[in-house]
Amino acid sequence: MNKIRFAVIGCGAIGNKHIEYLKNNPKAKIVAICDLDNNSLDKIKILEVKKYNNYLELLKNEKIDIVNICTPHHTHFEIAFNSLKKHDVILEKPMALYYEDCLKLNNQSEIHKTNLWVVKQNRFNSAVKKAVEVLKNQEIGNIKMFNCSIFWNRNDSYYLNSNWRGTINKEKGVLYTIGSHFIDMLIWILGEVEIVKTVHLENNCKKYIEIEDYGSSVIKFKNGVIGSLQWTTSVAEQNYEGSITLFGEKGTIKIGGKYLNELTYLNTQFDFLEEKPNQYSSYQGTSANHNVVFEKIIDCFISKQGKSELVDGVEASKSILLIDQIYTKFYGESQNTMV
């Protein structure tokens, strides 16, 4: 079997994770990489890989099956839009910074009959899969209320060593970054949103960034489930918790730990330890299940049959719509800086 040819655009922290997993997959071959920074390219030692500073030249010159996009948030739309003309795309979160751009990407994928997958690796966490099974079997009855808590630490170096993190025009808000997986999970489990009210956004600790470091929102879903979403990047020293608690008619379930990687409560307390988080240079991220995502995408590419548990552009755009609504409800139509 011929190996599937991948090109990775963006060779920073998450791009290196993509490269690491693809290098270890016997069905995959990395044929090209791209980054504006030559130092980032030079650090990647792969035989017979072409290196580019311009992604358009890469797309033009290389025979590629799948393009992995691992660049800063504000560049996702343009690179994905151009890549989808000829290639299948694996896109890191967020899908885009505007819901309208998500719709354009889905349209582009449909026009050119190419696949767009958005990385939502937390769906493959063992604790999450167990919780979904419990919910499917109606073990806690109909869900009436939820609570989602994202209490993380992003220290000064995380923002100050980056030219895009913490900026309105390039990152846009915390939920586009650390909140993306949690919001995807809420919509996946609870369905369509009816009402959103953002109670407050605040920049209390990191005055050198333009976006919030504390936030709170109330959400009602169309099935009647209500609850709160709370988030911060200013927990002291290290990440504290990343959790979703669901209150049902017959019981309660909490997917917790720091990264939705432990089933910490199911009517009675018990330990259910799961995958380790991704370790980056100066911080930890969400669960390290990219290898599972890539394996399922490769199988899908080979078989040409369905998307199974994968998140396509249509599904991923739902979380961007909700994030847009959360910020719009507080700022109005035009988002302003908080400095």
For 12-41, write each residue's pLDDT tens digit: 999 999 999 999 999 999 999 999 999 999
How is residue 178 written in tokens?
A: 């650390």
Q: Is the model's pLDDT at 273 over the cut of 80?
A: no
Q: Determine which of 95-104, 113-122, 297-306 has the lowest per-residue pLDDT on average.
A: 297-306
Strands 241-248 and 143-151: antiparallel
CATH topology of domain 4-121+290-311: Rossmann fold (3.40.50)
> If you write DSSP's letter for every residue of 257-280 in order, what string do you get?
TTTT-EEEEESEE---B-PPEEE-
Q: Which fold has domain 123-267+319-331?
A: Dihydrodipicolinate Reductase; domain 2 (3.30.360)
End-to-end CA distance of the chain: 55
Tokens of 139: 């073990």
pLDDT in tens, 171-183: 999 999 999 999 9
The token pair at 147 is 């609570």
Domain boundaries, the chain: 4-121+290-311, 123-267+319-331
Q: What is the mean pLDDT of residues 162-174?
A: 96
Q: Decide if pLDDT at 121 tops 80.
A: yes
DSSP SS3 for 178: coil
Give me Rg for the CA atoms of the chain.
20
Neighbours of 322 (CB within 10 A): 21
Q: Mean pLDDT over residues 209-221, rounded?
A: 96
Please tell me the predicted confidence (pLDDT) of residue 159.
Answer: 95
pLDDT-based confidence at residue 288 (cuts at 50, 70, 90): low
Which residue type does 201 have? Answer: L
Please check the confidence at residue 333 and state whether its pLDDT lies above 70: no
CA-to-CA distance for 289 and 244, rounded, in angstroms? Answer: 19
H-assigned helices in the chain = 13-23, 38-42, 55-61, 76-83, 99-112, 126-136, 156-160, 174-177, 180-190, 290-303, 313-331
191-214 confidence digits (pLDDT tens):
999 999 988 999 988 899 999 999
- Measured distance CA(274)–CA(262) in Å, rounded: 6
Phi, psi of 269 (to 5 degrees): -70, 135
Name residue, tokens 């309105």: 168
Q: Is the pLDDT of residue 184 over 60?
A: yes
Could you tell me if 91 and 116 are in contact, meaning their C-beta atoms sit under 8 angstroms apart?
A: yes
